[in-house]
Amino acid sequence: MSLASLFVMSALTSNIVLTKFLGICPLMGTSGSTKKAFGMGVSVTLVVTLSSIITYFLYHYVLVPSNSTYLETLVFILVIACFVQILKLCVKRFFPSLHKSLGIYLPLITTNCAVLGIMLLNISNEYTLLETIVSSIGSSVGFTLVIYVFSSIREYLDTRKVPNCMKGYPIAFIVAAIMALLFARYVGI
């Protein structure tokens, strides 16, 4: 598989949110505005890309040689947590309004199942370092695309007449389901 195909597959046809249903919490929690959604998407992209590189080396050069692959989840979460803390400090210092708007969702990137899922998928697919980087960036771009489009739709729906019983999360889950159906249409391309 070419790197371009891997990128497109990771971003669109095998989108981590819409095909694996990982990362639903930040999708629902930070998609109230496009600004917050984009900030979350960029934050996840940075954490996933940097963490994937480090976890690749730790897995292949520490865990496998020491026959400790059973620790991969713990090690991966520790690496993710370190990068999230670094990111949190940088965002707080240089983008205080984004830090305030993301609130609790920024440190929760550590427990975002999409972030860990991407790393575990890279390992289970036995990607090379370059394929790991392309897959990680593609998956992150796909996450950012979905959360941004989703937030745009939610902002639009907030200005429209929606039945009271459908306001908030009910209509949001319906929109997410429709988006998943649309993305599933392109599987196999």
What per-residue confidence (pLDDT) applies to 23? Answer: 81
Q: Which residues contact 148 (CB under 8 A, 6 or more apart)?
A: 34, 37, 38, 41
What per-residue confidence (pLDDT) applies to 41? Answer: 87
104-158 pLDDT tens trace: 777 777 667 888 899 999 999 999 999 999 999 999 999 999 999 999 998 898 8
pLDDT band of residue 187 (cuts 50, 70, 90) is low
12-54 pLDDT tens trace: 888 888 888 888 877 887 777 888 888 888 888 988 999 999 9
For 151-171, what is the mean pLDDT? 87
pLDDT of residue 186 exceeding 70, the answer is no
pLDDT of residue 188 exceeding 60, the answer is no
Q: What is the pTM of this model?
A: 0.85
pLDDT of residue 7 exceeding 90, the answer is yes
Mean pLDDT computed over every residue of the chain: 87
What per-residue confidence (pLDDT) applies to 64? Answer: 96
Q: CA-CA distance, 118 to 130, in Å (whole number)?
A: 15
pLDDT of residue 55 exceeding 90, the answer is yes
Q: Please, what is the Cα angle at 114 between 92 and 37, to 5 degrees? A: 45
pLDDT of residue 5 exceeding 80, the answer is yes
Q: CA-CA distance, 36 to 180, in Å (whole number)?
A: 21
pLDDT band of residue 176 (cuts 50, 70, 90) is confident
